[in-house]
Amino acid sequence: MTPSFADHPQMAVEDFEELAHRAPETVLLEFIQGKLEVKPMPDGDHGAIVMWLLRQCMQQRPELALYPEQGLATQDYRNGRARPDGVLAPFDHFVGQGEWAASDGVLMTVEVTSRDPDTDRRDRREKRDGYAAADIPVYLLIDRDAQELVVYAEPVRGKYARRTTYPYGAQVKLPSPVAITLDTEKLKDYVR
């Protein structure tokens, strides 16, 4: 079996944090499974999808906030550093936590797939597994290529026990503790 970056990371987490802190504002860095990643800059449709979700969350659960690009300590032993497209948590949850907040108390992470060749590995596998290992109750993947939403829930021993897929246009009931129903008809407007 070939050793992975998770077994032998490219650098220490502290070195990554220093590098990420010094990166220009136009470069978003992540440390996923021991490997330095450059997060693609979002296009207009990507941003519109995040705003669509933000509005639905605020309307249904005003005591919560969907934080775009909030840095999280993820994976086993919190050795990963991810910047989800959205992090659902109680309002003011991240006050005073700094750039890489603990994932404790996070209800859901959200990723919207990008138009780049690494999205399959990064969003559909590595980030999903990192969020499960951090015991984040729900991971919502908005998959623009497949035009579907994938809801992962019930993290158990670093994996999500439940996976449910919905096509764009469906009513999507996000499980507890999120408890929000998404009307996804609007997502059809963002298909290119």
Can you give the CATH number for the domain in which 92 is found?
3.90.1570.10
pLDDT value at residue 10: 74
Which range marks the domain in which residue 99 is found? 42-190
Within a domain: 111:
yes
**Residue pLDDT, tens place only, 42-52:** 778 989 999 99
Within a domain: 167:
yes
Residue 123: DSSP 8-state: I
Within a domain: 13:
no
- Whether the CB-CB separation of 36 and 10 falls below 8 Å is answered with yes
Within a domain: 26:
no
Within a domain: 153:
yes
Within a domain: 175:
yes
pLDDT band at 116 (very low <50, low <70, confident <90, very high): confident
Q: Please list the helix, strand and coil fractions of the chain in percent, rounded to the nearest 5, in that order.
A: 25, 35, 40
Number of domains in the chain: 1
For the segment 131-141, the average pLDDT, to the nearest whole number, is 96
- In the predicted structure, residue 1 carries a pLDDT above the cut 50: no
pLDDT value at residue 168: 98
- Give me the half-sphere count of Cα atoms (radius 13 Å) on the Cβ side of residue 96: 2
Within a domain: 171:
yes
Within a domain: 29:
no
